[in-house]
């Protein structure tokens, strides 16, 4: 059974089954941020177990809607639900990996890591306050780098997006005007630019539009060979986006600080910390109508925690610490029950 067919180009947004799903195959939908690693995990899991994954990379908003509508076995979101929303819908939330959101650019003659930006300059670009690449504020950060006298085209997510929530949370932390005028959410009223659907769509649009800038999960920049900009962190440094920098941002994370492990890792302290780092999350029902399917979901992610770290690291995602995995699996065993009250997952 061929179950995974995916690409990082041209905005493809679904992983599909070529033949009807077998009983042990699972379905999920949501965040595009972790799609590259979920695809790699699913490919390896299929080879080892024979069980497949049908994952629709439709954005966090779509994933939340589909799990609430009970049309999938799990939902995926980069914007964690708050405790009251989890309680209202009877959902359990847990993280899978951490990654970084990076600014990507299409500027003739500018290669990956050459352009430097600060958070406030990035906010001004996406607010339309900085409209050309040779603006004095950008030039001051990039002495010796030839930048064109050309209009900037910001590219943003057109769909409800956890990546947008992470990105705008960061911009709200570093730019008072952004916080006041636009705020942090899965979608905002972008004043300038053009939209792309999913991380895939933003990556494809930036590649196609000269003098554009967008924001994507780092794996999309890497897979599509799109130049990324360096971003000044809280310590005033310009670290390169990579698993080391994402891990540095998460070094002192307190995963118990929010219900459902729903913490933020943006704008963290540390010389090596990448400033737009985030975990991504899965949503399942605590009392699922199809407990056997939820059990298969948990088996898949248990396998990913146990055997998927290298695949994640190869794509520059950061695996969760062992102690966090133990907390997650304890929550599975304690909180997810079948109709007779028995745990769906046994440690």
Each residue's pLDDT tens digit, 101-113: 999 999 999 999 9
The pLDDT score that the predictor gives to residue 134 is 97
Asked if pLDDT for residue 21 goes beyond 60, the answer is no
Q: Give the residue-averaged pLDDT of 70-81.
A: 97
Sign of the CA dihedral running 252, 257, 261, 266: negative
CATH of the domain at 68: 3.40.190.10
The pLDDT score that the predictor gives to residue 2 is 31
Asked if pLDDT for residue 15 goes beyond 60, the answer is no
Is 228 inside a domain boundary? Answer: yes
Is 266 inside a domain boundary? Answer: no
Same domain, 54 and 124: no
Distance separating alpha carbons of residues 208 and 214, to the nearest angstrom: 12
Query: Which has the closest alpha carbon to 45: 296, 291, 238?
Result: 296
Same domain, 231 and 284: no
263 exposure class (CB count in 10 Å sphere: 0-12, 13-18, 19+): middle
**CB-based contact 198:232 (threshold 8 Å):** no
Strands 230-231 and 53-57: unpaired
Q: Which domain holds residue 183?
A: 100-254
Asked if pLDDT for residue 19 goes beyond 90, the answer is no
pTM for this predicted structure: 0.88
Q: What percent of the chain has pLDDT over 70?
A: 93
Q: Which residues pair with 113 in a beta bridge?
A: none
Number of structural domains found in the chain: 2
Same domain, 214 and 124: yes
Same domain, 88 and 105: no
Q: Which residue has the tokens 């690291």?
A: 313
Q: Which residue has the tokens 């554009």?
A: 212
Is 54 inside a domain boundary? Answer: yes
The pLDDT score that the predictor gives to residue 23 is 52
Each residue's pLDDT tens digit, 183-219: 999 999 999 999 999 999 999 999 999 999 999 999 9
Higher-confidence residue of 295 and 346: namely: 295
Q: Give the residue-averaged pLDDT of 235-263.
A: 94
Asked if pLDDT for residue 17 goes beyond 50, the answer is no
Same domain, 172 and 313: no
Rg of the Cα trace of the chain? 20
Beta strands in the chain (DSSP E): 26-30, 53-57, 74-77, 91-106, 116-117, 153-157, 194-196, 212-217, 230-231, 265-266, 276-285, 318-319
Same domain, 244 and 136: yes
Is 342 inside a domain boundary? Answer: no
Is 33 inside a domain boundary? Answer: yes
């Amino acid at each position: 059974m061929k179950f995974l067919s995916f690409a990082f180009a041209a905005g493809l947004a679904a992983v599909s089954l070529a033949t009807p799903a077998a009983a042990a195959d699972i379905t999920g939908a949501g965040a595009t941020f972790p799609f590259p690693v979920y695809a790699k995990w699913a490919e390896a899991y299929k080879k080892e177990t024979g069980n497949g994954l049908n994952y629709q990379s439709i954005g966090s908003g779509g994933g939340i809607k589909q799990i609430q509508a009970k049309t999938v076995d799990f939902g995926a979101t980069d914007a964690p639900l708050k405790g009251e929303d989890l309680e209202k819908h009877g959902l359990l939330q847990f993280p899978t990996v951490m990654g970084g959101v990076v600014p990507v650019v299409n500027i003739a003659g500018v290669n990956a890591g050459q352009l430097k930006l600060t958070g406030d300059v990035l906010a001004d670009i996406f607010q339309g306050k900085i409209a050309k690449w040779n603006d004095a504020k950008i030039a001051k950060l990039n002495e010796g780098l030839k930048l064109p006298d050309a209009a900037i085209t910001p590219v943003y997510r057109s769909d409800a997006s956890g990546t947008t929530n992470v990105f705008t949370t960061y911009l709200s932390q570093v730019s008072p005007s952004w916080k006041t005028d636009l705020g942090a959410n899965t979608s905002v009223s972008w004043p300038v630019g053009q939209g792309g659907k999913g991380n895939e769509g933003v990556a494809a649009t930036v590649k196609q539009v000269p003098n554009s800038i967008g924001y994507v999960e780092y794996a999309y920049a890497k897979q599509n060979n799109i130049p990324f900009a360096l971003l000044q962190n809280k310590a005033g440094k310009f670290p390169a986006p990579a698993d080391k920098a994402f891990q540095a941002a998460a070094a002192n994370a307190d995963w118990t600080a929010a219900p459902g492990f729903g913490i933020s890792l943006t704008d963290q302290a540390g010389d090596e910390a990448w400033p737009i780092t985030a975990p991504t999350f899965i949503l399942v029902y605590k009392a699922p109508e199809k407990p056997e399917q939820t059990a298969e979901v948990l088996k898949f992610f248990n396998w990913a925690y146990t055997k998927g770290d290298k695949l994640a690291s190869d794509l520059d995602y950061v695996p969760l610490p062992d102690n966090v995995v133990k907390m997650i699996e304890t929550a599975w065993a304690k909180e997810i029950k079948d109709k007779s009250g028995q745990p769906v997952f046994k440690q």
